[in-house]
Amino acid sequence: MQHPSVEQGQRIPRHVAIVMDGNGRWAKRRFMPRIFGHKHGVDALVRTVQACADRGIEYLTVFAFSSENWKRPTDEVSGLMGLVLVAVSKYLTKLEKEGVRIRIIGDRAAVSERVRAAWQQAENATAHNTRITLSVAFNYGGRWDIVQACRRALAQGLRPEELDEARLGQLMAMGHAPDPDLFIRTGGEVRISNFLLWQVAYSELVFTDCLWPEFGEAQLDAALRDYASRERRFGGVPDAQPQALRA
């Protein structure tokens, strides 16, 4: 059944990607440690997963921790790692019951065994779900993704002529999902920040000043309306007949 906030005939993206920015600033404005912002950010994520699923979005991919975030203060990084364990313990059963499939994308080598075990638990417990796929990018970078895909191609012994965009895309961390239709970044920054560089080549970009802990259904629906109003041409011209390439 169509969600009440979705207008009749409104085009809904199949895949939404979000850079969840502004947790630290949200906490600072309230004179709280940055980790409190990240905790409220997890709550915002759970709300957003539910809202996306209710609106018929099939894939949601979020940037939780970039490969550059290791440069942050040690206590913040440590708190984020602990927050992974808390979030899995607090929300896994709820998400599993609501039909959410969880996938973790990124370089797992640098995180602790406890965090890797929590991720594995989340993936295994939700592997049967099909309502919406939540991909969480943790210790992820777009350039890393392209490099690791190339390394996998070499390891598989692919010849140069066997490697094309489709094959390389399958070897990337998001090989299980179509490219994002809509890319949202909260927090007021207007950049991609090394997130899904390959996959967002033709995504519609929406930037909002809303800090991530305050993101909710109203902000999601505003982004969806913006997306629905755009004409996606993928480099072409509407109603134009493709011309044969000249010899």
Q: Which residues are catalytic?
A: 21, 69
Using left for φ > 0, alpha for ψ between -120 and 50, and beta otherwise, residue 139 falls in: left
How many residues are present in the chain? Answer: 247
Handedness of CA 80, 193, 124, 87 (dihedral sign): positive
Q: Which of 71, 7, 58 is nearest to 182 (CA)?
A: 58
Backbone dihedral angles phi then psi of residue 196, each to the nearest 5 degrees: 50, 45
113, two tokens: 């065994």
- What gap in Å lies between CA 163 and CA 108, rounded to an integer? 26
